[in-house]
Amino acid sequence: MKFLKEACGVFGAYDMDGGPVISYLYWGLISQNHRGHHSHGFLTFDNGFSSHYGLDLLPPVRHPLTRKLFKKLRGAAGIGHVRYATSGKDNKRWLLRDTQPFIVEDGGAKIALAYNGNIVNVSQLRLELKSEFGNLSTSSDVELISKKLLQGLKKDRGLSSSVKACMREVEGAFSVVGLTQKGELFAFRDSLGIRPLCYGHDEDKKIFAVSSESVGLNINNFQYESEIKPGELLVWSKDGFTQEQLVKPKMRAFCSFEFAYFARPDSILNGGSKPVYKIREDFGRNLGKEDSEINNKIDIVISIPETGDDAAYGLHEQTGIHWARALRKHRYVTDRAFITTHKEREMIIMKKLNIGGEIKGKRVAAVEDSIVRGDTSRRIIKKMREAGAKKVHMYITFPRIISPCFYGIDMSTFSELIGAKHDATEIARIIGADSVHYQSIENFVKSTGLERDELCLGCLTCQYPTPLAQQIADKMKAKFEKGEKETGRVYESS
C-alpha cells in the first residue's frame, strides 16, 4: 500500500437512439476512481458541448451535485475523466484549470478530449504549438495532444489524418477519448499501446462505450468487445461505426505496472483471458516457488492492502502457510485533492491502516505489490513490529524498480527510487525488514500472459520503448551515478 500517482482513467459513450449518456459516464468513472482522485470531469454533446468539472473523488449518486449533473448534461454522446496529476502542477488552482475533458477551438475547428498517459517530447511540442496557438492555458499534456489534433482539423485534413499525424509525431503514452464539434465520439491509442483502452456495447448494440478498464463496461452491463489496438482509431456517429488501423505497430509495450498495482483486480487487461486478480494470485505462487526456505521461516502470510491481497492468497495456496487478513484498511479515511505533498499523503495512508493482534509473536510474510521509495514500507514494518511481530519478511510481486517512468507513473528520477541505489539485502536493512524477496522479471512476465517484448519494462531494466525516453534516461542515469542532482520530468525543460 503506497501513494503512487498514475495518469488517469477515461470513459466515453454514444447512444445511437439519441438517449442521454450521462448515467453511463458517471458509473463508468465511479468504477475507475482508483485511477484518479485529484479531479473529475464530464462533457456531453447536445447541439453543442455542455460540461461539469470538480475536484476530488466523484460525489455519491444521491448527492445534490450528482442530481444536478444528470439534469444538466443531456447529450447522446459524451466523455468523462478522472485524474491524478502526474504532469503539470498540483496545487488547487492548477488542478481545477487542468481538469479534463479539455476543449480547444481555432480556425473554425473544435474538439474535446480526455486522455490517460504522458508525453515525452513535451518541449518540442510546446515550441511548435506556441508558434501557432500562442501560450498554453494549462500545465497538462492533454492540451498538447488536443492542439496537435486541432492543427490538422482546422486545415480540413479530417479526423483520421489528424489522429495519424498525432500518433506519428507525439512520443509517449496516450489512450484518448474525444468528441468532435458534430457530436461524434472517437477513441484512439498510441502505436505502442502503453496504457489500457477497451470498448463494448449494450445487448442491442445501440449504446457503445469506451473505457480505460473493462470494469467501466461491466458496471454499465455492457458487453466487452475488444481492446482498442495500438495505432487504431474508432469513431461512432449517426452514420454508424468505423474502425481504422492508422499506424501499424512495430512493437507493443503495455505497461507492466498495471498488472501489479494500478488496475482494479476484476478488470481484464489488454484482451487477456483472465482477470487481474488471477494474475496477482499467480504472482504470489511464484514468490512461494522462488523462496525454497519459506516454509522454514514463516508462520503467517498477510497482505499490505489492497493490491497485495490476491498475491498473499496465492502465496498461501502455494506454501500451505496460514493466511490472515491481519492488516486492515479503513475505507472512510480519505485524502483531498489539494493535499498534494508526498509527506501529507503518506501520513494519511498510515492512518488508514490497522493491524490485528494475530501477528504477535509470529514470523510474518508481508506481501506487497511494490517498493518504490521505501518510506511507506518502513512505516508499515515499524507498525507491525510494534504490534508484536517476531520477524517481518517482505514478499514483493513487482520486481525491483531501478529506473524512472516517462509514460504516466509518478516515478520521475533515479534518486527517489530505493531500488536504483540498493539491492534487496540493503533495502531490507533500510526499511527494517528481516528480508526482502522480489518476484523475478521472468516469472512476472510469464504470469501476465504476454511476451516480454509486448511489455514496457523500462522501470525494471532501464530499457525504454521510445527513443527520446531512452536518451533522457541515459543522461539522467549518468548524472545520478555522478551524484548530481536530478529534477522530475527533466524533459519538460530540456
Domain CATH for 442? 3.40.50.2020
* Diameter of the chain measured on Cα atoms: 72
pLDDT at 4: 46
More confident residue, 234 or 91: 234
Boundary residue ending a domain (252, 270, 292): 252
Question: Does 157 fall in a domain?
Answer: yes
What cell numbers appear for 129 in the block?
504549438
Q: Which residues pair with 363 in a beta bridge?
A: 391
Question: Does 469 fall in a domain?
Answer: no
Question: Does 339 fall in a domain?
Answer: yes
408 in Cβ contact with 116 (< 8 Å): yes
pLDDT at 345: 63
Residues for the chain: how many in total?
Answer: 494
Q: Is 182 found in the same domain as 315?
A: no
Q: Which residues pair with 243 in a beta bridge?
A: 234
Q: Which of 8, 166, 405, 456 is catalytic?
A: 8
Question: Does 464 fall in a domain?
Answer: no
Q: Is 122 found in the same domain as 202?
A: yes
Q: Is 193 found in the same domain as 128?
A: yes
Q: Is 351 found in the same domain as 247?
A: no
- Count CB neighbours of 295 within 10 A: 11
Question: Does 263 fall in a domain?
Answer: no
Q: What is the pLDDT of residues 408-450, one digit of tens each?
A: 888 999 999 999 999 999 999 999 999 999 999 999 999 999 9
Q: Is 31 found in the same domain as 170?
A: yes
Q: Is 245 found in the same domain as 285?
A: no
Give the CA distances from residue 263 to residues 31, 36, 98, 141, 450, in Å, rounded to whole numbers and listed in that order.
11, 12, 23, 22, 16
Q: Is 82 found in the same domain as 37?
A: yes
pLDDT at 229: 98
Domain harbouring 55, CATH code:
3.60.20.10
Helix, strand, coil fractions of the chain, as percent rounded to 5 = 35, 25, 40
**pLDDT over 70 (residue 211):** yes
Q: Which residues pair with 200 in a beta bridge?
A: 209, 224
Count of domains for the chain: 2
Q: Which residues pair with 188 in a beta bridge?
A: 176, 233
Q: Is 320 found in the same domain as 241?
A: no
Q: Which residues pair with 368 in a beta bridge?
A: 396
Q: Is 411 found in the same domain as 363?
A: yes
CA–CA distance, 351 with 334 (Å, rounded to integer): 10
CA–CA distance, 418 with 371 (Å, rounded to integer): 8
Give me the long-range contacts of 358-362 (CB less than 8 A, separation at least 24): 358/300, 358/324, 358/326, 359/300, 359/302, 359/324, 359/326, 359/384, 359/387, 359/388, 359/389, 360/387, 360/388, 360/389, 361/388, 361/390, 362/299, 362/300, 362/388, 362/389, 362/390, 362/391
Q: Is 439 found in the same domain as 315?
A: yes
Give the CA distances from residue 145 to residues 90, 119, 163, 212, 487, in Å, rounded to whole numbers and listed in that order.
20, 9, 9, 18, 24
Q: What is the pLDDT of residues 306-340, one digit of tens each?
A: 899 999 999 999 999 999 998 887 766 555 444 45
Q: Which residues pair with 437 in a beta bridge?
A: 395
0.85 exceeded by pTM: yes
Residue type at position 168:
R
Q: Are strands 254-255 and 455-456 parallel, antiparallel or unpaired?
A: parallel
Question: Does 487 fall in a domain?
Answer: no
- Count CB neighbours of 123 within 10 A: 14
135 band by pLDDT with thresholds 50, 70 and 90: confident
Q: Which residues of 412-430 are buried (b: 16+ CB within 10 A; e: fewer)?
A: bbbbbbbbbebebeebbee
Mean pLDDT of the chain: 91
Average pLDDT of the segment spanning 270-297: 96
Question: Does 322 fall in a domain?
Answer: yes
- Residue 138: give the domain boundaries: 9-252
Q: Active-site residue 8, yes or no? A: yes
Question: Does 3 fall in a domain?
Answer: no
Q: Is 151 found in the same domain as 77?
A: yes
CA–CA distance, 80 with 36 (Å, rounded to integer): 12
Give the CA distances from residue 334 to residues 76, 177, 351, in Å, rounded to whole numbers and listed in that order.
34, 29, 10
Q: Is 204 found in the same domain as 315?
A: no
**pLDDT over 50 (residue 27):** yes
